[in-house]
Amino acid sequence: MTALLLTLLAPLLGGLTLALLRPLALAGWFNLAVSLITLGGAAWLAWLVAVSGMIAGMGFRVDAFNVYLVVLTAFVGVTTSIFSRPYMRHVCSTGKISAGSLRVYHSMYQAFMLTMLVALTTDNLGVLWVAIEGATLATVLLVSLYRTPEAVEAAWKYFILCGVGIALALFGTVLTYFAAQHVIADPAAGLTWSALYERAHELNPTVMRIAFVFLLVGYGTKVGLVPMHQWLPDAHSEGPTPMSAVLSGLLLNVALYAVVRLKMLVDGSLAETATPHLAGSLLMGFGLVSFTVAGLFLHRQRDIKRMFSYSSIEHMGLMTFAFGLGGSLATFGALLHMLVHSLTKSAIFVTVGHATHLAGTQAIERIRGLIRTQPAIGWSLLFGVVAIAGFPPFGVFTSEFLLLTATMQSQPWFTVALVSGLAVAFAGLFRHLHPMVYGAAPEGQQPVQANMLPVLLHLGLVLWLGLSIPDFLATWLDRATGLITGTRLL
Amino acid sequence: MIYSWLIALFQALLYVALAPLLIGWVRKVRARLQNRRGAPLLQPYADLRKLLIKEIRVPHTASPLFRLAPYIVFVATWLAAATVPLVALDLPIAQIADIIVLVGLLGLARFFLALAGMDVGTAFGGMGASREMLISALAEPAMLMAVFTLAMTAHSTSLVSVMSHHLADGFLLRPSYLFAFGALVLVALAECSRIPVDNPTTHLELTMVHEAMLLEYSGRHLALMEWASQIKLLLYGVLIANVFFPWGIGQDFGLLALGIGLVVVLLKLAVLGLALATAETTLAKMRLFRVPAFLNLALLLALLGLLSHVILEVGA
Amino acid sequence: MSTHAVLLLAALSVMLALAASATSLLASREPRILRLIAMPLIGFAGLAAVAAGLAALILGGSVTTTLPLGLPWMPWHIRIDALSGLFLLLIGLVTSAIGIYAPAYVRDFERGRDSLTALGGFTGLFLTGMLLVVLADDAFLFMVAWELMSLSSYFLVAFQHENAANRRAAFLYLLMAHIGGLAILLGFGVLAAFGHGFDFASMREATLSPGWASLAFALAFLGFGMKAGLMPLHAWLPEAHPAAPSHISALMSGVMLKVAVYGFIRVVFDLTGQLQWQWGVVLILIGSLSALMGVLFALMQTDLKRLLAYSSVENLGIIFIALGLALVFLSTGHALLGSLAFVAALYHAINHALFKSLLFLGAGAILHSAHERDLEQMGGLLRRMPWTGSFFLIGSLSISALPPFNGFVSEWLIFQAALQAWQLDSGVLRSLIPIASAVLALTGALVAATFVKVYGIAFLGQARSRHVRHARQGALGMRVGQGLLAALCVLFGVLPTQIIGLLEPVSAQMLGTGLPQAGAQGWLWLTPISSETASYSAPLTILLLALIAGIAFWWFVRRAPRRMRRRDPWDCGFAPPSPRMQYTATAFAQPMRRVFGMLFEIDESRPAFDDAAPRYRLKLTDRAWGLLYLPVMQAVEAASRRVVRLQSGNVRVYLGWTLATLLVLLWIIS
Amino acid sequence: MSLTQLPVLQQFVLLLAALALFLSFVLLAQARLVAAIHAFAWQGVLVSAVTLVVALAGTAHHLYFSAALTLALKGLLIPWMLHRLVRRLSLSRHTETLRWPALVIMAAVLLVIFSYWLVEPMVAQDLAFTRNIVAVSLAVVLIGLLMMVFRQQAVAQVLGFMSMENGLFLAAVSATAGMPLVVELGVAFDVLVAMVLFGVFFFQIRESIDSLDVDRLNRLTEAVEITGERPG
């Protein structure tokens, strides 16, 4: 429990102090330190969970499903803060933002981490909602940090769309609570996920069905499911790059996590009805649509960050599909995919950040010949995209392998859509990637000092996961799979 | 064993010896048909002899391959010929190569012939080579198809088995054989560069095919090349004669059998030569781009032969 | 020598390959490392692979082990049986030759700006990938290795990426490789679904309904066929193979395509189990198409490496025809004939690996010393580089399937198998197969034409450009590398009986029957079915050829002492010909172009009579593009153009979408 | 059971709910911004009143607290903030002409029917704590969303958003006897922060496009034609 408190308090206090901390040079380091503490707490927590299986109490619940996401969140938080320190200094020195907004940036960074961690660890659906809404509030200011018209516009859209979505989710939560009241006497416990999960089969299916639709549309907006995704590329492309990294790497995951938790409840309550797999089918539908549409979007990109945010949508769609498909194999694959995708994608965004500094623009047609200008950036970008495109020996391949074979086994016809979607997305990515990394170096672009450590760290991990999944992680994922599907793989 | 090998050797030498005679005979008959007296029957021998003793002139631009080619062409053709039963069936040498190998050996000869044509780097050489390869490319499948028809009938690609199978059957009217025969004749005309595909006697620049490749040769090189083409003609003659009308060929290695075999095969060849000469006097050489049509006819015949074999003879 | 030695050798080979890529990480600092360490390591890896392969073939049986990598519930399974042994041998032979050749060849790049680390590192990974594919015994490792192979070769294709054509080639290559890989993966998915496990052992156990089996076959054929460059999925091949450095082209064309063949054999013959004759028919048809079209395109090319790439399409077509025959015979219960066709396919696979690599290395040598890929600029190279010239001649003879070289033996065996079609019951097959063999014959003749053209234009005649006129003989290593392959070509051509003895265990292990008759008449006589049916004695052929030629030569020289004078070419008495008067490659192909014209899109412009500077321009494109590839590309483009309307930019529209989605879903569930 | 058998308090609740629904119609159609804000304030008051009545009727005591909270937040604080903003943005005189008002109103009516039809089965199973106010609150939510779709004015959009929140509160109290306190607080806090941020954004938007017409926030789009460069 202390571990959990440490994990949660560190960003809370850190955020507050950063809001007040004057000397900017220090802020970056302090930010990093706080993230490190958080990571330490998360690691401790993970160890405890690995030992005891689950930690619950004080309205919190840490089990196999969310503990690895907690660690992931903390880890990406650390690496991104490593990257963001010099990056934001550079931004600040170019005069794009004022010292004050830099302070806002740092405190909001920690606030965002806090909301993420709370959303993951809480056992209360209401608190979950509050936390995710909080994440929106924390990031919306960061999106408009640069104060350019585009940035403001992006922030507004982000705010409005996610606000509405979240509101719908709240309605869904209310309905769930409504259904719970007829099952659970104690009103206080009416929103505790664990309590609901135990008696899920008693929840009134009619209510839960409607509730799930609201929750799906609501949190789905956050996940970036088509057609509620429109905020995502805007927010990613206009916010500072570290923000894009954590948005793509963490926020989407957490939203998807919420959807899956709720799907578990609905599945329980619909088990005896005529449509037991309603939730699953809805997820599959949304997943496929997002996956395909995002793949097509990739072909017509002009902005490098927008491009990769669409690729995030595509992968979220893939995971959603996998969770909808159900079955231990697919679920295991999806869980793994959450992990490797956020690692890879945040690595890519870090690299993209350097590339944009190098070229001085986010326009794809102005980023050319990176390998010639600065091999480190060029190769990292190339390898990152290769990894995200699902080539071994990177981990994304492993999850896609599991996912495709699972689909082939249960729903063969969907594989056609999946394969064509993957091919389209691949072509879309590489047609833009090739001219960016290859070719002769353009005139007047000087190498920038870039810290490639986060990228190497992430890609190294993804590579490791692709070659072999360590036992503790395997058991976590397997326990989570058991939790979600009821059948374990190992 | 040794004896049979000796006979094989004798037969091989027989090919070399007889080849010019066949050419002489064809020319003679043609001359007669054109109301000329024509050169004596043995003129080709004299030509070869003269070429052999003449000095060789090699272009500056020629590479070593230019001088190597005649030997390879000659030997490959000869080896191919040696495996075709001429007077006696079932010689050990026939085991070395079945029909496909035979086609392969001829291909080897052609390959080097064409290369030799291109070696000097004159326009005509290249032209000849290009056309030769076109013709052969179209002729080879037809040839193999025809051969396959026979092979599938005899369930074997070895000439010996084909012939003995044919002998064992006695005289049968096989439609497939009829088609195959037609195809093989057309192919033979093309392969031996006879009218109507090519004119062995012309040196009119733009119509040459075979001659264009030999243009730069002289002396013994030329002799070898000419000789090789004569052997090739003889080979096809024997192939047609002995495969479709194997009767009379020596079944054992007794002198009598061999003698009869020789006489019979000479008679068959005489008849064939007569036919060839008649054809060449009556037909005119066709334009290069009519040749594909001509060879497609051959291919069609061969295919018909094959199909009629599959459908009419094996089926049911 | 125990079976574990096989494993150790294989492991050693992989290790060396990895070591090669590891060492070349330093090459960016110290360029010579690539030449002095990395490339030799590749060669040694090849040697180790040869040893492992031979050991596996000779010892027979199979060894398996697992590595603590891969999925948590499924470590990497390794298995070496006769089939893997054979392909290890194949990979090893070519790779060792390249190990000798490459050091001298990569010297050129030390001056260039392209990253040597990339070159060496990805070459090592490429080799590793191919080795692991052959060693893999479970779907996961297989796919990992497979994609590693594709990926690293993609980087090698994109190696000289300042050339836009190379970039496009690399893009197309990786895209199609990716799609193919996914198809294979799905095929494994089917097998795994019935076998309840990703390891091949449990897939073998699986019993599939014919429908599912056919699905698995179709997926495997799609995937592996795409990699093997079968028509009409070949488009990437003639683009990608020439783009890579020549020794890599040799690896890709000579070895990687064979790895695709291996995968196909492994999945269809080994894992899928019950075969169906319809599959055979499909293979035969596609194979014939690829063989014919491939060679026709090769004949039309003027870029040497492109030409060789197209001829790879043709040869893979031939291999798949043989596999198709094997499928037909096996599924109709003619085990012996099946294994005959099977062995023929394997034999041709090895042969193609040998002579195609030889030819690519030759092309590389020309590129190295004359910096020229365009046939129209070459000529007279035989005198400039006699060694390369001679080796290239051997390669051309082998690929043209002329006795007594190796290409001939395998095609002869295929013909022999095809000619046994009379044993089949179905009249359709009885008439289809001989026609396929006719196509094969036509292909053979056209190949001969193609390589007469290549050799005649490139090595004979006179140089057509200055830099070719001053080309110099390549370094010793390059010559030795080619020499090794050339020697192997001759060896495999002259000793077919022994080679088949080597191949037999494979078919014995895969199909349960070998070729008992093949060597029954003694090592001199190759009699695949029986001595009455067909026999061929390569040793005697070459012996007699040499003997008679020798005698004749000796006789002539003795009788007529060499009286020989050099003179200008006669050329029917025209002026002494200049290089520009020679027949060009385009001209050489003109008759064929005219005869087979309907198969291509030909865009030809002849000069007018009164043209001051007359120019002849010819552009020849593949109909497959217009029929298959462009429509797909346009469809995707159109679809994306429609879809982006979603991102209209107006937040109210977005909100409208949300509302609509909500209402629709609510309506659906109620 | 029909209305007549209900205790008077619940009848009162129904009445208030109906009024709230009517007010969101008013919000939807109201052209003048200030008036709209007033309407919104009244809606907030009604919601809190509903909460109060439910508290009186029921046993859940924390509902008194949440009623007070709602009143403070929705009835007073937020409307006041909006007023200040409108004044500072000098939009007091601003009126906005709604395109095809009749159509929009019809759509809203359809939404009401839809939500009733949707909630019908729940009511049929007689789960509702009070009679199907759930339908009403759902309608309020959806109409709020509809309003955001049809209003181009940023402030009006925020009003729509807030009235959605009202609908949520309504649902929370009517369907369930109020959410757990921690959640109530959290939600209230979020709404407050959201409001503050909205205020910040009004100014940012204004300074970037010197207007609050959201239709002019349309730079970030992909729909315009581009010539996709070939690969490689």
pLDDT score for D4: 62
**Two tokens, residue D97:** 């002409």
**For B251-306, what is each residue's pLDDT tens digit?**
777 888 888 888 888 999 999 999 988 888 888 888 888 888 888 888 888 888 88
What is the pLDDT of chain B when averaged over all its residues?
Answer: 86
Confidence of residue A117 (pLDDT cuts 50, 70, 90): very high
What is the pLDDT of chain C when averaged over all its residues?
Answer: 87
ipTM for the predicted complex comes to 0.89
pLDDT score for C561: 57
Which of B308, B313, B148 is closest to C417 using CA atoms?
B148
Confidence of residue B316 (pLDDT cuts 50, 70, 90): very low
Confidence of residue D6 (pLDDT cuts 50, 70, 90): low
Mean pLDDT of D179-208: 85
Is residue D150 within 8 angstroms of chain C, CB to CB? yes
Q: In angstroms, how far is the first alpha carbon of chain C from the final one? A: 73
pLDDT score for C559: 67
Query: Which helix (H) or strand (E) element contains residue A161?
Result: helix A149-181
Q: Range of C664's domain? A: 626-669
pLDDT score for C496: 86
Phi, psi of C430 (to 5 degrees): -60, -35
With CA atoms as reference, the chain C residue closest to D218 would be: C649
Residue in C432, C451, C536, C559 to test binding to B, most B beta-carbons within 10 Å: C536
**For C153-168, what is each residue's pLDDT tens digit?**
999 988 888 888 888 8
pLDDT score for D230: 37
Number of domains making up chain B: 1
Q: Is pLDDT of C560 > 50?
A: yes
Judged by average pLDDT, the poorest of A255-259, C397-401, D182-186 is: D182-186
Can you list the alpha helix ranges (DSSP code H) found in D58-100? Answer: 62-70, 78-88
**For A65-79, what is each residue's pLDDT tens digit?**
888 899 999 999 999
In contact, D156 and D147? CB cutoff 8 Å: yes
**For D109-122, what is each residue's pLDDT tens digit?**
999 888 888 887 77
With CA atoms as reference, the chain D residue closest to A297 would be: D222
Q: How many Cα atoms within 13 Å fall on the side-chain side of residue A262?
A: 37
Residue D215 to residue C648, Cβ atoms within 8 A: no
In this complex, which chains have at least 3 CB pairs below 8 Å with chain C? A, B, D
Mean pLDDT of D173-178: 74
Cα–Cα distance, C371 to C379 (Å, whole number)? 13
Q: Is pLDDT of A203 > 80?
A: yes
Which chain C residues in 622-641 lie under 8 Å from chain D, judged by CB atoms? 637, 641
CA distance D191 to chain C (A): 19
pLDDT score for C2: 64
**Two tokens, residue B260:** 């009869």
Could you tell me the residue ranges of all domains in chain A?
285-490
**For C104-152, what is each residue's pLDDT tens digit?**
888 888 877 778 888 888 999 999 999 999 999 988 999 999 999 999 9
Strands (E), A2-141: 55-57, 60-62
Residue whose tokens read 């607080």: D185
Cα–Cα distance, C307 to C318 (Å, whole number)? 17
- Verify A-B touch: 3 or more CB pairs within 8 A: no
Number of domains making up chain C: 1
Is residue D223 within 8 angstroms of chain C, CB to CB? yes
Q: Range of D187's domain? A: 3-216
Residue B137 to residue C449, Cβ atoms within 8 A: yes
Is residue A216 within 8 angstroms of chain C, CB to CB? yes
Helices (H) and strands (E) in chain C, counts: 27, 5
pTM for the predicted model, two decimal places? 0.91
Q: Is pLDDT of B2 > 60?
A: yes
Chain D residues with beta carbon closer than 8 angstroms to that of C663: 114, 142
Does some domain include residue C639?
yes
Q: Is pLDDT of D220 > 50?
A: yes
Chain A residues with beta carbon closer than 8 angstroms to that of C657: 227-228, 230
pLDDT score for C45: 92
Q: Environment class of residue D77 by beta-carbon count within 10 Å: exposed (0-12), middle (13-18) or buried (19+)? A: middle
Cα–Cα distance, D203 to C445 (Å, whole number)? 81
Pairing assessment for the beta strands B56-59 and A55-57 based on DSSP bridges: unpaired
Does some domain include residue C658?
yes
- Greatest mean pLDDT range, B125-134, C91-100, C613-622: C91-100
**For C179-209, what is each residue's pLDDT tens digit?**
999 999 999 988 888 888 888 888 888 888 8
**b/e B263-290 (16+ beta carbons within 10 angstroms → b):** ebbbebbeebbeebbeebeeeebeebee
What is the pLDDT of chain A when averaged over all its residues?
Answer: 88
Does some domain include residue D18?
yes
**Two tokens, residue C290:** 């690829």
pLDDT score for D232: 36
Judged by average pLDDT, the poorest of A50-54, B201-205, D12-16 is: B201-205
CA distance A488 to chain D (A): 34
Higher pLDDT, A263 or C555: A263
pLDDT score for B111: 92
Does some domain include residue D227?
no
pLDDT score for D228: 42
Which of C409, C495, C491, C509 is closest to C56 using CA atoms?
C509
**For C305-354, what is each residue's pLDDT tens digit?**
999 999 999 999 999 999 999 999 988 888 888 888 999 999 999 999 99
Out of B63, B145, B303, the one facing C382 most closely (by C-beta) is B63
Residue in A112, A127, A142, A152 to test binding to D, most D beta-carbons within 10 Å: A152
Mean pLDDT of A363-382: 87
Residue D118 to residue C666, Cβ atoms within 8 A: yes
Pairing assessment for the beta strands A60-62 and A55-57 based on DSSP bridges: antiparallel
Give the dihedral of Cα atoms C453, C454, C457, C463; nearest 10 deg: 180
CA distance D224 to chain C (A): 8
Can you list the alpha helix ranges (DSSP code H) found in C459-610? Answer: 466-469, 476-494, 496-511, 538-559, 585-595
**For C462-515, what is each residue's pLDDT tens digit?**
888 888 888 888 788 889 999 999 999 999 988 888 888 888 888 888 887 777
Residue whose tokens read 């006819």: B297
Percent with pLDDT over 70 in chain B: 98
Is residue A335 within 8 angstroms of chain C, CB to CB? no
Residue A299 to residue C144, Cβ atoms within 8 A: no
pLDDT score for B53: 83
Does some domain include residue D226?
no
Percent with pLDDT over 90 in chain A: 32
pLDDT score for A286: 92
Is residue C556 within 8 angstroms of chain A, CB to CB? no
pLDDT score for C263: 93
Cα–Cα distance, C271 to C265 (Å, whole number)? 9
Mean pLDDT of A203-207: 85
Q: Is pLDDT of A321 > 50?
A: yes
Chain A residues with beta carbon closer than 8 angstroms to that of D161: 160, 163-164, 167
pLDDT score for A449: 81
Percent with pLDDT over 70 in chain D: 88
Mean pLDDT of A215-231: 90
The one-letter amino acid at C221: F
